[in-house]
Amino acid sequence: MKGFRKIIWVMASLLALILLSFSFRTDELSTRRMEATIRFLADDLLEGRGAPSRGADIASLYLASELKAAGLKPANEGSYFQTFTVGKFEREKSEYEISLNGVPLGSEDFIFLPFGMDPGKTPMKFNLVFSGYGIFAPEEGIDDFKDIDIRGKAVVALSGAPWELDPYSLFGYDHAIGKSLHVAVRKGALLVYVSEEIESEEAKSKSLEIQFAEAMSRVPFVFIPEFKGKPTSGIGAMLIVKPSVFNKALAGACGGTFEELKTRLAQGENLSFELDVSLKVHIKTEPEFALTRNVVAFLEGNDPKLKDEWIILTAHYDHLGFYAAREGEDGIYNGADDNASGTAAILEVATRLASEEQLRRSLLIAFVTGEERGLLGSAYYSAHPLVPYEKVIVNINADMVGRSQGSLQALATGCDAIYSKSEEFAQAAGIKVIPDQHPSWRLVYFTDVYHFARFNVPFVQFFTDLHNDYHQPSDEIELIRFEELGRIFKVIYELTKFYAQGGEKPEFKRPIWFITPD
């Protein structure tokens, strides 16, 4: 009897070793496949995968082919593509005519970021409201919008806050972009941001915020005509003007100069009120129209009760395209980390689940386009969802997961159960999960999870943080940390499998600051 038990123990041990060896081999194979995907997507031949572009079309064809080869079915009425029309225009081929209270602005007086705007809808005239600093931070007891109705209006806000600003917090709620999103989600037309940091070339050179805005003003602006000028992301259009322009055009209407109003705000005075003046905007250009597409596929669950519930995996496969570089200069934004890395991870999760698992719930894969141009693909999906939002258990998104230094951020604001599960699976994978390291940035507004969270879908975005190569041509394949990416893949895979196999549906408790349009 003892001999028999010994034989059984030896056989069990051998089986465990075989399974462990198989696990190591499959994990190694997954890492190699992810590297191959990133190398393809980030190659110069795809010219930065700008949306729309030939390079992005090639990337989408590659992803659809890989999903088909893995055994996933087309999710859009027999097609792996969800195709839509976008319009595009460029600053250097456009003329902006802008006036504040009848005062025409010279090109040196402003920086204009017409996110989501359709030039064909201009010229447009907007009534103005003044909102002080234009900050919404309920955790700090500040709401500069509470006494004004900004729907369809342009909102004037001054730079600064009731505290010292962090110059590196470009997406913070106390900076221009953070202020613009709280205009957009309240259905305001655009933000008029008054900043002394564009008053001179010296001031510009010292301001990361203005340098970022100037860089963004030079990239092509892309919009979805179907949206009729409505923003496709949390960020809306923005006009940054000099204090001298404000003083000339609006000081009388606002009851003080820029400097005087800043002093009153610093003393705690509430300065939010409607103005009896307007802003006029005319974008003179001829937009180019083209087709771009999301890549969509699914695995059907096999549980009679649960197969009508869905896990949605997302990643954006586009990047910034390229610019005409000087000889010897790299002008291609390859986007190896942003977001070939997240695309490769989600593709491998889908491939492994299709080959290894019989899922109880159903799985939808959506590789979305145009994230870099204002969440275009996920916005279009939100207007044309392939499964009912109320049937979605969780959205799992991967965006920039290729540069881990041993940790992985799980952005799961209001979704504590998902964060806890991510921690559990990360510990087993040998990597540390940490919470959002930039809570004041409100990153849910800036990524594709936004178009799920605004419909109250529980979500998590995996992210390994920004770096010096963010939105630079230097975001290259050589900087991807593949061993850590292999561990991150395991976390996403195990988390997806947990919910797909019937794990309890998580809750999403909206933060008090998370306001979305009706």
Structure tokens at 108: 């040196």
Identify the top-confidence range among 218-227, 340-349, 355-364. 340-349
If we measure between CA atoms, which residue out of 181, 201, 282 comes closest to residue 242? Answer: 201
**What CA–CA distance (Å, rounded) separates 366 from 343?**
10
Find out if CATH 3.50.30.30 is the number for domain 91-284.
yes
Out of 3.40.718.10, 3.40.50.11540, 3.40.630.10, 3.40.50.300, the CATH code matching 29-87+288-500 is 3.40.630.10
pLDDT of residue 335: 96
Nearest to 295 by CA among 45, 41, 56, 44: 56
Q: What is the pLDDT of residue 229?
A: 79
Tell me if 29-87+288-500 shares its fold with 91-284. Answer: no
Q: Give the three-class secondary structure for 249.
A: helix
Give, to the nearest 10 degrees, the angle between helix 2-41 and helix 54-70: 160
Output the pTM of the full model: 0.91
Instruction: List the chain domain ranges.
Output: 29-87+288-500, 91-284
pLDDT for 236 beyond 70: yes
What is the dihedral angle through the alpha carbons of 385, 408, 235, 137, rounded to the nearest 10 degrees? Answer: 120
Q: Is the pLDDT of residue 22 over 50?
A: no
For residue 212, the model assigns a pLDDT of: 86
**398 neighbors 365 (Cβ within 8 angstroms):** no
Question: What does the alpha-carbon distance between residue 492 and residue 425 come to, in Å, rounded to a whole number?
Answer: 8
At 98-137, the pLDDT tens digits run: 999 999 999 999 999 999 899 999 999 999 999 999 999 9
Strand, coil or helix: 87: strand
- How much is the pLDDT for 26? 65
* pLDDT score, position 3: 56
pLDDT at 206: 85
* The two structure tokens encoding residue 249: 């055009």
In the three-class reduction of DSSP (H, G, I as helix; E, B as strand; rest coil), residue 104 is classed as strand
Q: What is the pLDDT of residues 410-421, one digit of tens each?
A: 999 999 999 999
How many residues does this entry show for the chain?
518
Give the mean pLDDT of the chain.
Answer: 92
Q: Which backbone phi and psi does 444 adopt, to 5 degrees?
A: -60, -25
Query: How do residues 168-217 score in pLDDT, each as one tens digit?
Result: 888 899 999 999 999 999 999 999 999 999 988 888 888 889 988 988 88
In three-state secondary structure terms, 148 is coil
Mean pLDDT of 229-245: 90
Query: Which one, of 475, 411, 448, lies nearest residue 232 by Cα?
Result: 448
